[in-house]
Structure 1
Amino acid sequence: MKKRLLALGLTVTLALGLTACGPKAAPETETTPAQTETTPAQVETTPAQTETTPAQSETPTGEKNEINLGLLNGPTGMGGAKLLADNEAGATANHYNVTMGSDPSTDILPKLNSGELDMAALPTNVAANLYNKTGNVQLLALNTLGVLHILENGDTVNSMADLAGKTLYAINQGSNTEYVLDYLLTQNGLDPDTDVDIQWKTSEEVTTLMASGEIDLCMLPVPAATTVLMQNSDVRDAIDLNDAWTQSGAEGTFTMGCVVVRSEFAQENPEAVKAFLTEYEASINYIKDNPEEGAALIEQYGIVPKAAIAQAAIPQANMVFVAGDEMKSISSYYEVLFAADPTSIGGSIPDDAFYYIAE
């Protein structure tokens, strides 16, 4: 039987909810792991915004396209750290006015809707929801695959089918996290309501309980999962849900994070959008290829509070850059969410106009 429990417990500040999610009653506020994280970076600006360095003062931003960009703490924002550093140094083709946030429903969505932000990182379900409700945004790029992991203190679980008869502690009931878990259990012949005892708690509770050894099995996103693995050497990464998605025969790509653009801005500033995509792809690749340097930047901009954890999380964060027609591979993931709860993506599968395809 699934339960909701009150949040309690002390944990490190990087329990990232990514995964994508909010309550059924308000799907437009669904969050990802990056969204439930509470870090010192819960402010609306990065150091690039609050400080004026010599490089910034010497670079005439009036000659550049100005882009108001919103990024999220956690996996969804990790790939943008090099872009923030280059922007602060005046080394980007565009000039980015950056807003950092932890919860898209309060930190990002209102500013997209008002036009204060031109582009923003969002959970993929929130992007679809916003498009279906307003039609004012388009999908620019996919940036994060699934970041959910099942951790075990033991060696009995190696597949989703092995969860039969087990008690699994998980987060974000009534969200994409639950829908994906239920889907994968069903694909492996299990009834989520009867075959697995899923105990729903907060990220903070699950992280604390697993790191302390009080529970033996949980599902967490990166980097909360990374934190547990670093704190408790008896815990192992039993299942990467990206692998489970593929092994279960699911179609398409399990993709939890993306970047959207206001449609009006994209139409009026195609060259700025093109430059952003080039610079953003380079930033993601830099973080993946240079984990030590990238982790330092991730900490510097408050995306994850500790560089050591960020560095360990980078290989698990499943950062990608997918743009153009290839983005449409996410439609199968949207179909899974729609089948579980149509309101989770705004009531319908996004049509082709949702995808920004440069001419």
Structure 2
Amino acid sequence: MNRRELLKLAACSALISAVPLQRAFAAKPGKLIAATPLGLPQVILARALEDPELKNLIPERELLDWKDPDQLRAWLARAEVMVTATPTNVAANLYNRGVPVVLMNVNVWGTLGMLGLEHKGSLATMEDLAGRHVGVPWRGDMPDLVFRYLLGKAGLEVGRDVKVSYQSSPFETVQMYVAQRLDAAVLPEPMRTATRLQSLQFGQSPNELDLQQEWARLAGGEPLLPQAGVLCRRELLEKVPEQVAALQAAIGRAVDWVVGEPEAAARLGADRSPLSRQVNEGAIARTTLKMVNAQEARPDLESFFSALSELSSGFIGGKLPDAGFYHV
């Protein structure tokens, strides 16, 4: 991704936020309106909605893009959107705040990483960050909490061992990192791949650190973090359970397709967003994708939520979601 593409992505996000919420959401009986953030969750859900078996059952479908959780919360609260791809902590927060939603599945299990300036030395472990200046987008959100949790496990303290500055968006983090105003940056995919490619164009060869691998090393277990999935409003599950079952199956097939056909999936991503095919393909290679039903993923989710809630209980709305949150 070159600078023009990066700016185009930022402009696209701004346009999404400017779309009036009063738009006609076509509340026709039988029509399924879904939503997604930019990135691989968008590719998965876009593919699932075009699944032949799902199309036969639900002829009318629409996929919207949401910019931030506030916009998504408004759509879900007014039942203008019935299904959405979302980070798992956003889903838990919505549920704990009284929005009638059910988590259907988790399908993104690893998308966080770091880039480090080559001349600052090796970036093979979290311990290598000692003495460096790190940029982190979205203070208090998942990338920040995962990063700070791992810092603590590595015996490092913000302010004492590592300088951390926060940016309001990944775009600002990328700009500061590419300008070498940061020694390292915490970035989710696809921004990590886009920034890596941009750095290479500027003659920089960044070091990379996979935060899922560091989680396994420092906290134990597998290098898997239940980061994103798909939820639906409870009334959809209660009124048309067969549609939810068909969508769940279609999402499973879509995830398998993205993993098995990364070039085709990257083209679909490029068609639906400002992200180039090359960026989408790199993001797929650096992201762990597998479809796990919410009930089966519950132990992993509760372990993940509990760990990050040590830093901020508001991350998930103050408590672990109860059994009603998980679709069986």
Give the corresponding residue for 1:319. 289
Q: 2:130 aligns with which of 164, 175, 194?
A: 164
How much is the aligned-residue C-alpha RMSD, in angstroms?
3.0
Counterpart among 44, 48, 63 of residue 98 in structure 1: 63
Aligned to 1:6: none
State the AA in 2 paired with 1:183.
Y
CA 1:346–1:90 in 2, change beyond 3 Å: closer, same or farther? Answer: closer
**Contact 1:43/1:100 (CA < 8 Å) preserved in 2?**
no
Q: Which residue in 2 is equivalent to 1:225? A: 192
Per the TM alignment, residue 242 of structure 1 is displaced from its structure 2 partner at its CA by 0.8
- Aligned twin of 1:293: 264
1:125-165 Cα shifts (integer Å, max 9, x gaps) = 11111111115111101121232211112242210111112
The answer to whether the Cα contact below 8 Å between 2:51 and 2:250 also exists between their aligned partners in 1 is: no
1:186 corresponds to which letter in structure 2? G
* 1:203 Cα deviation after fit: 1.8
Measure the CA separation in 2 of the matches of 1:40 and 1:242. 32
Q: Match of 1:150, SS?
A: strand
State the AA in 1 paired with 2:285. Answer: P
Letter in 2 for 1:197: K
Residues 216 and 337 (structure 1), Cα distance of their counterparts in 2 relative to 1, 3 Å cut: closer
SS of structure 2 residue aligned to 1:134: coil
Partner of 1:115: 79
Which one of 51, 71, 92 corresponds to residue 128 of structure 1?
92
Change (3 A) 1:90 1:282: closer
Mapping of residues 156-305 of structure 1, within 5 Å: 156-201=122-167, 202-233=169-200, 234-250=204-220, 253-302=224-273, 304-305=274-275
Contiguous gaps of at least 5 residues in structure 1 = 1-8, 17-35, 51-61
Tell me, yes or no, if the aligned pair for 2:267 and 2:277 is still in contact at 8 Å.
yes
Number of aligned residue pairs: give it.
Answer: 312
Structure 1 distance, partners of 2:294, 2:159, is: 39
Partner of 1:59: none
Q: 1:68 aligns with which of 33, 58, 72?
A: 33
> Cα–Cα, structure 1 residues 227 and 208, in superposed 2: closer, same or farther, change >3 Å?
same
> 144-153 vs 244-253, which deviates more?
244-253
Q: Give CA-to-partner distance per residue, 1:292-320, whole Å, 9 cap, x none.
A: 11111112122x53222112211113332
Matched AA of 1:168? V
* 2:112 counterpart residue number: 148
Change (3 A) 1:134 1:37: farther
Report if the CA contact (8 A) 2:54-2:246 is conserved: no
Please state how far the C-alpha of 1:13 moved relative to its aligned partner: 4.2
Q: Which amino acid aligns with 1:264?
A: E
Per-residue CA distance 1:85-125 (angstroms, 9 max, x = gap):
447x985543322222222311x221211112221112211
Counterpart among 309, 312, 315 of residue 338 in structure 1: 309
Cα distance in 1, alignment partners of residues 90 and 54 from structure 2 = 32
SS state of the match for residue 219, structure 2? coil
Give the Cα–Cα distance (whole angstroms) in 1 for the partners of residues 18 and 265 of structure 2: 21
> Which piece of structure 1 moves more, 134-143 or 207-216?
207-216
**TM value normalised by structure 1:** 0.78
Shift of 1:336: 1.8
Match of 1:22 in 2: none
Rounded Cα–Cα distance in structure 2 between residues aligned with 1:40 and 1:315: 29
1:319 and 1:205, CA in 2 relative to 1: closer, same or farther beyond 3 A? same
Q: 1:308 aligns with which of 267, 278, 284?
A: 278
Task: Give distance in 2, aligned partners of 1:260 and 1:341.
Answer: 23
Residue 38 in 1 paired to residue 13 in 2? yes
5+ residue gaps, structure 2 = none
Q: 1:144-200: per-residue Cα shift (whole Å, max 9, x none)?
A: 123221111224221011111221122112222222111101111112231111122
Q: Would you say the 8 A contact 2:45–2:85 is kept in 1? A: no
Q: Cα offset for 1:353?
A: 1.6
Q: Residue 79 of structure 1 aligns to a residue in which SS?
A: helix
Query: 1:177–1:260: structure 2 CA closer, same or farther, 3 Å change rule?
Result: same
